[in-house]
Amino acid sequence: MKSPNTLALSRLCGRMKLLTRILQASLAIGVIYAGWSVITRPDTVSAWLADALSVPVTVTPATRLALSILAAVVAGLMFAGLQTVWQLFDRLQREKPFSYEVAALLRRAGLLALAGAVAGLVLPTAATLLATLANPPGSRTLSIGVGSDQMMLFLLAGLLFVLGHVMVLATAINDDYERIV
Amino acid sequence: MAIIVNLDVMLARRKMRAKALAEHVGITEQNISLLRSGKVKGVRFETLEKICQALDCQPGDILEYQADAPG
């Protein structure tokens, strides 16, 4: 018989899984739309970039390719992170919360969040540099910016990773403890 | 493993069933089964005390050390 807490956790995990899938679908649609725009409407992409980076940009085919690869890496990272979170909620729904698999997934989610936070710091700098590389001399831009929101994300991602690692160690100790009668 | 659990032998000597021992000791029959097969990492003194009480024996009757063969 399942306790009310277990049922509530299972219900919450079900909802979180659905939310994760919606986010993944939105991300996939965004990536497909961006990819299609890059191929069919390069001028619009240039306008987007100029608007987002607040600097005049010159988008050449090579720049477009480099920026697309950069965006694909970040999108892949986000997709992998969301998939890990989905797996985490799926395991939490089916297994006991204090299991090695759940802890390992939490640690992996933390690691991906940490990688995402690093990408969030590096991406604007790299994108600005790439988008302005073909500009005439004197109007190329290199901007490095670290905001409090990025630092907070970095801190939270690190905390999630450490928490996951502690959980992995704790579940190993718990497994040992359970083998003592 | 160097530590051999002779719980089977003691249960047979005392003509006691694992279920009865589990009830007396206050652990599950599954744990008794794991203990009999030596698949546990350790035994609490509290559990050992209750087993000895139920089977009227000494810890040495249940646990035995056998040195591993070299190599």
Q: Is residue B71 in a domain?
A: no
Q: In A, which residues are within 8 Å of B47 by CB distance? A: 181
A176 CB near a chain B CB, below 8 Å?
Answer: yes
For the segment A9-31, what is each residue's pLDDT rounded down to a tens digit?
A: 889 999 999 999 999 999 999 99
Distance between terminal CA atoms of chain B? 14
**Sequence-ordered list of residues with C-beta below 8 angstroms from that of A170, at least 6 positions apart, any chain:** A98, A103
Largest CA distance in chain B: 41
Q: Is residue B36 in a domain?
A: yes
For the segment B16-71, what is each residue's pLDDT rounded down to a tens digit?
A: 999 999 999 999 999 999 998 888 889 999 999 999 999 999 999 999 998 877 76
Q: What is the pLDDT of residue A85?
A: 95
> Please, which residues 31-60 of chain B have a Cβ atom closer than 8 Å to chain A?
31-32, 34-35, 39-44, 47
The tokens describing A156, both together, are 């939270």
Provide the mean pLDDT of chain A: 88
For residue A49, what is the enclosing H or E element?
Answer: helix A42-53
**Rounded CA gap, A72 and A116, in Å?**
13
Q: In A, which residues are within 8 Å of B32 by CB distance? A: 181
Task: Output phi, psi for A36, to 5 deg.
Answer: -65, -40
Provide the sign of the torsion angle of the four alpha carbons A6, A12, A18, A21, taken in this order.
Answer: negative
Q: What is the pLDDT of residue A134?
A: 81
What is the average pLDDT across A109-119? 92
**Rounded CA gap, A82 and A87, in Å?**
9
**What percent of chain A is modeled with pLDDT above 70?**
99
Q: Is residue B53 in a domain?
A: yes
B5 CB near a chain A CB, below 8 Å?
Answer: no
Distance between terminal CA atoms of chain A? 24
Q: Domains in chain B: how many in total?
A: 1
Q: Is residue B30 in a domain?
A: yes
Q: In A, which residues are within 8 Å of B27 by CB distance? A: 181
Largest CA distance in chain A: 75
What is the average pLDDT across A137-151? 83
**Rounded CA gap, A91 and A98, in Å?**
10
Count Cβ–Cβ pairs < 8 Å, chain A vs chain B.
21
Q: What is the pLDDT of residue A27?
A: 95
The tokens describing A58, both together, are 């010159």
What is the average pLDDT across A62-91? 91
A173 CB near a chain B CB, below 8 Å?
Answer: no
Contact between B35 and A181 using a beta-carbon 8 Å cutoff: yes
Q: Is the pLDDT of residue A4 over 90?
A: no
Q: What is the pLDDT of residue A77?
A: 92
Task: Output phi, psi for A90, to 5 deg.
Answer: -65, -45
Q: Which residue of A has its CA nearest to B25?
A: A181
Q: Which residue of A has its CA nearest to B46?
A: A181
B63 CB near a chain A CB, below 8 Å?
Answer: no
Q: In A, which residues are within 8 Å of B40 by CB distance? A: 179-181
**Rounded CA gap, A10 and B10, in Å?**
45
Contact between A179 and B31 using a beta-carbon 8 Å cutoff: no
Q: What is the pLDDT of residue A87?
A: 95
Identify the bridge partners of residue A161 per DSSP, sorted by sequence position.
Answer: none
Contact between B44 and A181 using a beta-carbon 8 Å cutoff: yes
